[in-house]
Amino acid sequence: MNKIRIDFENCYGIRKMVHEFDTSDGCAFLIYAPNGSMKSSFARVFSDISKGQTPKDAIFPQRTTSFSITDETNSEIDPNRIFVVEPFIEDYISDKTSTLMVNKDLRREYEDLVKLIEDKAEKVIAEFGRVSGLRRQAQIQEELARAYDYTGNDTYHLLERIHYGLADEINPGLSDVPYNEIFNEKVLNFLSKNNIRLQLEDYVDRYNELIEKSTYFRRGVFNHNHAANIRKSLDENNYFRANHTISLTDRDLNKREITSPEELDLIIQEEKKRILSDPELASKFEVIDREITRNVDLRNFRNYLENHPEIIPELSDIDAFRKKLWISYYFSIKEELEEFATTYLQTKESIEKIIKAAKEQETKWKRVLSIFQRRFTVPFVLEVANQHDVILKDEAPSLVFKYQDGDDHCEIGRKELMNVLSAGEKRALYLLNIIFEIEARAIQQEKTVLVLDDIADSFDYKNKYAIVEYLKDILETDKFIMLILTHNFDFFRTVKSRLNIPKRRNCFMAIRSDNTVELKQADYQYLKPFSYWRNNLHQDRKFLLASIPMVRNLIEYTEGAQSPDFKFFTSILHRKPESFEITMSELADRVNRFLKTEATYGEEKVADVIFEEAELCLANNDPINLENKVILSMAIRLLAEDIMIFKINDTARINSITSNQTRKLFNICKNMFPEDLELIAVLDRVMLMTPEAIHLNSFMYEPILDMSDDHLKALYLDIKELFTRLCNNDFINL
């Protein structure tokens, strides 16, 4: 991206604006825009486009709006490559903080280990799902946690706990029971009823009596499930094929040798049939069955019990049954769970080392924060409580503010911090988040169009200069095209100087007319007006006139207010008896002597020339021209004094004024004519708007430039009209 072309029409008050920013002379563009000219509207168009929104004319929505921001190929610039920095947004938090904390090597190593464990864990969960009949991974994990009273959210730790906790368990032999056949809401609600629990207890009591009389089964030790499980295991391991045998011992301690799986199956089935066909046990089941049959929602449950009556005794203690099922499932997938546990144990130590390294990592985020805290004055230190998770897991940073007051400090939340920070400190915190955003974008491959809307507004000078230095830093990254907007001429000059922005293509003044906004090249006279005036005194009399306040101040500093030269220039700026006799030739001689110049002029009266030039200023559409503002201010003050002298009409009283003449005349008028509200209102505007221009020095001309010349022009016309009316004088012939 080497060029930015903008074409806006009817966008937030901008009727028409077309411009091309060419980076041939550098990637920073500085725009001075007086208040009300275009600055906020310009930034808002860029902001809307960056957010995927449509700019509009907020005041006149019926106007047709058009807009485009393109590069040198006429391609629309990607909205993601535009970032607008507004003067201040109190609750702004950059979402790019974590980007600055990335350590690719650590994260890659961590992710490889986690992926290894994750794959093993997913395999275990999938196997648990296969044997239990559950499909959703989340439900499997939830049911496992419930079965083992686990309240944490670490699946790996849960699986590890299950594996090592069941190392010495005996297989209950219930792995063929589908979990949802029993553990669903309808069945559990049914089994929780008091009458059903009592009936199940009766059933279990009889069942236990029968077990006690069984030839081979033993209550709580060895039942048909255990026997079936043993038979399955022996068959899978080719036990009988190897001509091995087993012995079963009856209650009289007689042994029976079993030589085949079929023989073992027959014995198991005979024992089950002997128990489950017991008439009394069957009658107790019928009582339960009648309750089940009444509920149509339990039809599947009834069918399952009818085909698997051996699980009925387990229903009397549903929590114990739940755990037995998962233990049974565990034995079906023992190999996969052991593989996971071994992998987890081997990688856990390596992961812990990586996490420790991540906690201690000196990230770009920390370096940015360190730079900020060195340059900007704020009473807090910012830290990230979960840096390792941000680096390794891409989690959002959890920010901790440590507020410092002398030797005392405490941690404080952002909300509480905002309640105690000053306005300037809040702006500094906002700026910190902006810096995080900018630094994150600096990491990207593509350039970003960075629109800075009065970024230093309302900062003190120390922080303002810190901002300028930071702008210089990011300019050197070659990752940004900066459009720096300001209505503060002091900041404009500072940025121009410190960033060494070339004025030929990159330094502009915004000129607004009724229908267009134009970016005009910032001439040398705007950046160093005093030097420009001095070098051009001989070419244009307005530069000679504009130099009057400056030279008068120099004389005051070097010779004092009693100097004849000081009184000479005072007679030009105030109405004195001799004011109307001073010629341009005399003025040029005095100015030449102090500024070491060689300007020559004729015998025109200075008082007349000031008003002639003021009239010319009215037609000038350059709102930033300093000499025009100074000349208009002088003309306004002189007219104001003419009016007040005319109204007071007391020569002796007026001649007695030796200092602060305009102010003292104004005070006299207020006392003499309190009822003349129009007069007092116009004179009050004169006292408010013109003093800085009449007492011009290097610390004051920036505010004069920042002030719109429309206000001075309007005031000049008002005071001229008042003068003409009150003094019954044809002003044009002055």
* Residue 181 binned pLDDT confidence (cut-offs 50, 70, 90): confident
Q: Quick: pLDDT tens for 319-373.
A: 888 888 888 888 888 888 889 988 888 888 887 887 777 666 666 777 777 777 7
pLDDT of residue 702 exceeding 80, the answer is: no
* pLDDT over 90 (residue 590): yes
- Contact (Cβ atoms closer than 8 angstroms) between residue 430 and residue 86: no
Statement: residue 46 has pLDDT above 80: yes
3-102+362-522: CATH homologous superfamily?
P-loop containing nucleotide triphosphate hydrolases (3.40.50.300)
Give the phi and the psi of residue 222 in degrees, each rounded to 5: -150, 110
For residue 289, give Cα distances in angstroms to 37, 190, 292, 310, 315.
Answer: 87, 12, 5, 14, 13
For range 98-121, the mean pLDDT = 76
Contact 207, 313 (CB under 8 A): yes
> Using an 8 Å Cβ cutoff, are 344 and 160 in contact?
yes
**What is the per-residue pLDDT for 570?**
92
Locate tokens 């009444």: which residue? 294
**Mean of the pLDDT values across residues 174-197?**
86
Residues 6+ apart with CB under 8 A from 451: 42, 43, 46, 47, 82, 83, 84, 85, 483, 485
For residues 513 and 73, the model is more confident at 73
Tell me how far apart the alpha carbons of residues 526 and 551 are, in angstroms, rounded to a whole number.
19
Tell me the range of 262-271, 516-525, 568-577, 705-714 where mean pLDDT is highest.
568-577
What's the pLDDT at 68? 95
pLDDT digits over 402-419, tens only?
777 777 778 877 788 788
Higher pLDDT, 250 or 14: 14
Confidence tier at 705 by pLDDT (50, 70, 90): low
- Lowest-confidence range among 217-221, 250-254, 575-579? 217-221
Rounded percentage of the chain residues whose pLDDT exceeds 70: 89
Amino acid letter for position 313: P
Residue 407, C-beta contacts closer than 8 angstroms, at least 6 positions apart: none
Instruction: Output the pLDDT for position 706.
Output: 67
Task: Give the pLDDT of residue 526.
Answer: 61
- The amino acid sitting at 681 is A
> Which one is predicted more confidently, 119 or 705?
119
Residue keyed to tokens 């990592």? 361
CA 344 to chain centre: 38
**How far apart are the C-alpha atoms of 522 and 30, rounded to whole Å?**
9
How far apart, in whole angstroms, are the C-alpha atoms of residue 226 and residue 172? 6
Token couple for 710: 């429309």
Question: What distance, in Å, lies between the first and last C-alpha atoms of the chain?
Answer: 58
In angstroms, the CA 44 to CA 17 distance is 14
101 Cβ contact partners less than 8 Å away, ≥ 6 residues apart = 361, 363, 364, 365, 384, 387, 390, 391, 397
For the chain, what is the largest distance between any 2 Cα atoms, rounded to a whole number of angstroms? 147
Contacts of 159 (CB under 8 A, 6+ apart): 121, 124, 337, 340, 341, 344
Indicate the length of the chain as a whole number: 734
Asked if 606 and 525 touch (Cβ cutoff 8 Å), the reply is no
Cα(607)–Cα(604) distance, integer angstroms: 9
Tokens found for residue 28: 């920073």
pLDDT of 527-571, one tens digit each? Answer: 677 888 889 898 899 999 999 998 998 898 899 989 999 999 999
97 falls in which pLDDT band (50, 70, 90)?
Answer: low
Half-sphere exposure in the Cβ direction for 465 (13 Å, CA) = 5
SS3 452: strand
Tokens of 212: 């006690």
H or E stretch at 67:
strand 66-70
Higher pLDDT, 409 or 699: 409
Can you give the residue ranges of every domain in the chain?
3-102+362-522, 179-307, 527-733
DSSP string covering 304-368, please?
A: HHHH-GGGGGGGGSHHHHHHHHHHHHHHHSHHHHHHHHHHHHHHHHHHHHHHHHHHT---HHHHH
Highest mean pLDDT among 108-112, 141-145, 324-328, 589-593: 589-593
Q: What is this structure's pTM?
A: 0.60
Positive or negative, the CA dihedral 472, 475, 480, 481 is: positive
Is the distance from CB of 41 to CB of 12 less than 8 angstroms?
yes
CA 290, distance to chain mean position in Å, is 65
Cβ neighbours of residue 375 closer than 8 Å, sequence gap 6 or more: 466, 469, 470
| 83 within 8 A of 77, measured Cβ to Cβ | no
Radius of gyration of the chain (CA): 46
Q: Is the pLDDT of residue 574 over 90?
A: yes
State pLDDT tens for residues 256-306.
Answer: 888 888 888 787 777 777 777 778 877 877 777 777 777 777 878 878 877
